[in-house]
Amino acid sequence: MSAPLDGVLVADLSRVLAGPLAATMLADLGATVIKVERPGVGDDTRQWGPPWTATSSSYFESANRSKQSVELDLDDAGDRRLAAELTRRADVVIENHRAGALERRGLGYEQVAARNPRVVYASISGFGSEGGRELPGYDFLVQAVGGLMSITGDPAEPTKVGVALVDVLTAKDATIGILAALRERETSGRGQRVEVNLLSSLLGSLANQASGFLTTGRAPVAMGNRHPSIAPYETLAAADGLVAVCCGNDGQFRRLAEVLGSPGLADDPRFATNPARVEHRTALVAALEKELGQAPVAHWVGLLRTAGVPAGAVGTVADGFALADRLGLRPTVDVGPGAPPQVRNPITLTRTPISRYAAPPRLGEHTNDVRRWLTEGEAP
């Protein structure tokens, strides 16, 4: 079965998460991805454990399935020539090296584009290619300096998101840019450089929080599980735990009040409209939790869902996978014997579904084949 990116060759010169994850998305869509790794060491994340798999770390494997791994020393003249040849043949190059590092090795954008005018060359950095070009970019650091920590968790202490979310968002931005450039190339016949950086991707993802700041000039603050503009849209205490309740409109709130046996709450001037509920949130939460505290979470979730009120128990990652499985979303895929399952790509295509998943490569697993292809022209 054909795949959307059949015939597209990607040279993955990146490491850690944002770049490799973007390359994996392209591999899922059918591209051939050749990952260049340092001899004997490989991608930094191969050493980021536990947990460990049979051949590497689970961190590495989360962002490097369906690739070919070739060991090339970019400080060695012979290996640099092979890397240059790889980029000459590639449709896409993805890199996130320090500023100037690839240029010194003849692998910067201008140098690659001179040999390969059709190349789509994606550069990923922490803070862009101008004033922040020398700054190291790590997800945790960008979450801190970019403001994400300041609106996450309880007000007492800025808190990072529980996953390298900025890297993931940047990977998706990079993938979108690459696909757009490939599409434009069909018309112009020419490639171009795609640049994304972690800070810009973070700011671009702040959505209503960014818009609120730009509208008022006041920086938003952490509110725990509460929403700055909607109420109730938070976790509320039931008899045995927390229930997540999302009332995005007045009709949903009225149904919530009815389920709780307090329909009068929806007519109370303090709670009748969303702006009023946000203004009187403390009193609102007290009134709701007084009723919710009379029964366990499961009791309320069943009743609320039946009434059309978005609600659910606060679960673990394991609960999330179990829910997706029960809903028929098939959240995991098998990538081969001896390899742990992987998260299924979330994109569904009706005519050209994503169906090719292969285990993440061992370090240098395809070195001989790729070297032979680059020197003798035999397909790897």
Per-residue pLDDT tens over the stretch 74-111: 999 999 999 999 999 999 999 999 999 999 999 999 99
Round to whole Å and give the CA distance between 45 and 58: 9
Which domains occur in the chain, in start order?
A: 9-205+333-376 (3.40.50.10540), 233-313 (3.30.1540.10)
Q: Which residue of the set 73, 167, 173, 319 is catalytic?
A: 167
> What are the backbone angles phi and psi of residue 68, rounded to the nearest 5°?
-105, 135
**Local structure of 312: helix, strand or coil:** strand
Radius of gyration of the chain (CA): 25
- State the pLDDT at residue 378: 52
- State the pLDDT at residue 377: 66
Identity at 267, one-letter amino acid code:
D
Which of 127, 117, 124, 246 lies closest to 185, judged by CA?
117
Active site residue 6: no
- Residue 71: burial class (beta carbons within 10 Å; 0-12, 13-18, 19+): buried
Which of 219, 94, 234, 69 lies closest to 149, judged by CA?
219
Distances (CA, A) of 147 to 141, 143, 158: 10, 6, 9
DSSP-assigned letters across all residues of 245-294: EE--SHHHHHHHHHHTT-GGGGTSTTTSSHHHHHHTHHHHHHHHHHHHTT
Round to whole Å and give the CA distance between 327 and 348: 15
- Residues of the chain with confidence (pLDDT) below 50: none
> Would you state the torsion angle of the CA atoms of residues 229, 235, 237, 240, taken in this order, to the nearest 10 degrees?
170
- State the pLDDT at residue 371: 96
Round to whole Å and give the CA distance between 360 and 375: 25
